[in-house]
Structure formats: structure tokens, C-alpha cells
């Protein structure tokens, strides 16, 4: 088993920052988890905006793109997966995010997958489509195409190819232009493990005041930063989403409204259950379930990546299938190790 003590520490403690509730000193996560409660009917503030905003409270699986053995998209398997996910109380689906291997799809494929999936996602579920590109112009064009294809909101990753010049001003200018032109609400996306660029809190806080920017997904797992974002945007119509199941519970406790969780592709039931346990104030069961999810989540995110997510889906009755080159499938040895992460925690 890898060293996952850092993630475990997130379950026990959070850093010394002002939280949404104006906490100004260290408080044990144990104490906070036993006292905090949440309003199940999360209500967003009303304000005048360009578009109607969305309540994003809940779990979003960032779904994989299924490929055939020849690496062409398998739309039949995409349909089957969406049908199998229907029983779970997901808030919606993220399509063409990092887990969807978006970097390896053509522009036409990205739009086609969203258009196809929209047919099988009911209107009560949010379809959030990844529309980020390296240039502002391309991102605006892709955002409009995703909206036309049926997206309810877009997830816009930070441009990072010229990361050395991506100053706060450059990022604010980029996101402002995209949000000004987008026909649907915009969610900022901080994916430092993939971009090697950490979206500064100052940029997020500034963009929270834009009427067409409704939230941020942060995949880093820095609970102090998530807490700061919640606190500093609490007067705005803005929502913070955790970007991984490994720290979902502490993120919820700090005021995040939900999460975009790759593990939910394979473990939709347990991830939704964790959210519901928190919302119902059952912190004892929630903590136990969170602990069980940490190792499988670590396996499919930090160790084996998208190939691990897809293999976990195969093991649990979905179609994962192959990755697209140059990503390689798991070796037989890696597959056996992956199984143990799930078996040891009662999921296989």
C-alpha cells in the first residue's frame, strides 16, 4: 500500500485559516465533524445575472470516454454506461473532463460525445462539459459549441502550455472573456496534477463576482485553500466543488457543496451515500465510509490514473475498456494490485 497519510490527515485536521463560519484557530476535524450539520435543501442566492445559475450540490462523475479496441469511440458502450448510472442520485455528469481523456480527442469528437450523451441524460441532471482549450478564442468557440450540443454548464481548465506567463492578470482576462461570451454558466477548473499550474485563490475570488461564473472545481486537495475559497466567496452566488473522493467529506465540512469524483464512475453508490450521510448529519457513518474510499480513490487517481478508473469500471460491471494511446493499459500485476485496493475496503 502507498503512503496516503497526507490524505488521512485531511480527515482529521484542517489548516489554520478563516473558514466560512469565521473560525480563526485550529479546530480538530473530529470535533467539527461531530457538530456541523447541513441544510439538505441547499439554496442559492438570487441575483441578477446573464443566465440562470445552477445548484450544483451533489456528486458528479467525470465520465470516461469508452473506446473500442481500435481506439474509436464506442457510443453503444457510452449509452450502456449512462443507463447503468441512472439509478444513482448523481447531481449530474461531467463530460469531456480530464477523466474523459479530453486531451486525446479531436474537437469534433469532443462535441459529438456531448451531443450523444445529452440524449440519455435526463433534464433534471446537469450536463457539465469540458470546454477549455489553450487559447481564449478556442475556448470561447468550444464553449459555444458545447452549449449548442446540450451542455447546461461548461468546465474550463486553466490554459497552461505557456504557464510561465499565466499571471493572475492573464488568467482573469482569459476567464472574463470566456464568461462574457458563454451562453451557459462557467465553472473554473483547477487541475494542477495535469497542468502543473495552480489556479491562484485570488483569481477564483475575483472571478466569483462575475455573473456568469458559478463555481470552481479544485482537484488539488488542499483543504486550507478550499476553506479559504468558500469563506472569501460566501457573499457571492458561487459554489466550490471538491475534485476527488479522497477528501470529499472534509471538503463538505468546510462548505463545499459537492464533488466531481472520478471514483464515482466505478463506485457511484458509495460516493453518493457519503454525500447523503453528510447531508443527513450522520457523521459517524460518513467518516467510516470516507476512510474506506481513500485507498481505492488513491489507486485510480494517483497510482494508475485513467487506465485504473477504466479497469475498476470493468471490475464493477461497467464498460471501461482501453485507453487511447499513448496511455497504456494496466499490466496483469497492476490489475491484481488494483483489485486489492477495492477488495480490502469491501467494494469487491
Q: What are the residue numbers of the active site?
A: 217
d(CA 99, CA 323): 10
**14 Cβ contact list (under 8 Å, min separation 6):** 27, 29, 32, 223, 224, 227, 250, 253, 254
Cβ contact 77:117 at 8 Å: no
Best CA proximity match to 208, nearest among 181, 179, 182: 179
Contact residues for 340 (Cβ-Cβ < 8 A; gap 6+) = none
Per residue, the 3-state secondary structure of the chain, as one string, reads CCCCHHHHHHHHECCCCCCCCCCCCCCEHHHHHHHCCCCCCCCCCCCCCCCCCCCCCEEECECCCCECCCCCECHHHHHHHHHHHCCCCCCEEEECCHHHCHHHCCHHHHHHHHHHHHCCCCCCCEEEEECCCCCHHHHHHHHHHHHHHCCCEEEEECCCCCHHHCCHHHHHHHHHHHHHHCCCCEEEEECHHHHCCCCCHHHHHHHCCCCCEEEEEECCCCHHHHHHHHHHCCCCCCEEEECCHHHHHHHHHCCCCEEECHHHHCCHHHHHHHHHHHHCCCHHHHHHHHHHHHHHHHHHHHHCHHHHHHHHHHHCCCCCCCCCCCCCCCCHHHHHHHHHHHHCCCCC
Return the axis-axis angle of helices 332-343 and 305-315, rounded to nearest 10°. Answer: 60
Amino acid at each position: 500500500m502507498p503512503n496516503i497519510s497526507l490524505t488521512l490527515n485531511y480527515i482529521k485536521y484542517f489548516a489554520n485559516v478563516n473558514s466560512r463560519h469565521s473560525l480563526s484557530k485550529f479546530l480538530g476535524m473530529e470535533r467539527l465533524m461531530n457538530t456541523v450539520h447541513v441544510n439538505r435543501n441547499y439554496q442559492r442566492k438570487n441575483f441578477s445575472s446573464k443566465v440562470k445559475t445552477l445548484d450544483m450540490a451533489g456528486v458528479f462523475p467525470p465520465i470516461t470516454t469508452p473506446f473500442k479496441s481500435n481506439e474509436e469511440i464506442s457510443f453503444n458502450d457510452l449509452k450502456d454506461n449512462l443507463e447503468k448510472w441512472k439509478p444513482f442520485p448523481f447531481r449530474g455528469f461531467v463530460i469531456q473532463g480530464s477523466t474523459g481523456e479530453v486531451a486525446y480527442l479531436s474537437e469534433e469528437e469532443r462535441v459529438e460525445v456531448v451531443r450523444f450523451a445529452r440524449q440519455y441524460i435526463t433534464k433534471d441532471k446537469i450536463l457539465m462539459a469540458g470546454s477549455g482549450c489553450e487559447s481564449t478564442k478556442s475556448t470561447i468557440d468550444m464553449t459555444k459549441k458545447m452549449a449548442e450540443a446540450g451542455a447546461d454548464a461548461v468546465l474550463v481548465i486553466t490554459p497552461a502550455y505557456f504557464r510561465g506567463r499565466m499571471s493572475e492578470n492573464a488568467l482573469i482576462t482569459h476567464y472574463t472573456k470566456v464568461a462574457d461570451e458563454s451562453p451557459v454558466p462557467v465553472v473554473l477548473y483547477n487541475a494542477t496534477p495535469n497542468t502543473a499550474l495552480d489556479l491562484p485563490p485570488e483569481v477564483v475570488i475575483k472571478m466569483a463576482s462575475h455573473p456568469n461564473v458559478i463555481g470552481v472545481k479544485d482537484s488539488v486537495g488542499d483543504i486550507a485553500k478550499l476553506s479559504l475559497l468558500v469563506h472569501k466567496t460566501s457573499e457571492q452566488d458561487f459554489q466550490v466543488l471538491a475534485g476527488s473522493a479522497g477528501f470529499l467529506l472534509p471538503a463538505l465540512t468546510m462548505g463545499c457543496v459537492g464533488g466531481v469524483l472520478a471514483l464515482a464512475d466505478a463506485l457511484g453508490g458509495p460516493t453518493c451515500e457519503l454525500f447523503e450521510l453528510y447531508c443527513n448529519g450522520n457523521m459517524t457513518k460518513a467518516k467510516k465510509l470516507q476512510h474506506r474510499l481513500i485507498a481505492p480513490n488513491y489507486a485510480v487517481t494517483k497510482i494508475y490514473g485513467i487506465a485504473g478508473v477504466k479497469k475498476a469500471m470493468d471490475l464493477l460491471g461497467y464498460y471501461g475498456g482501453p485507453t487511447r494511446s499513448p496511455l497504456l493499459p494496466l499490466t496483469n500485476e497492476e490489475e491484481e494490485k488494483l483489485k486489492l485496493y477495492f477488495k480490502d475496503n469491501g467494494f469487491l
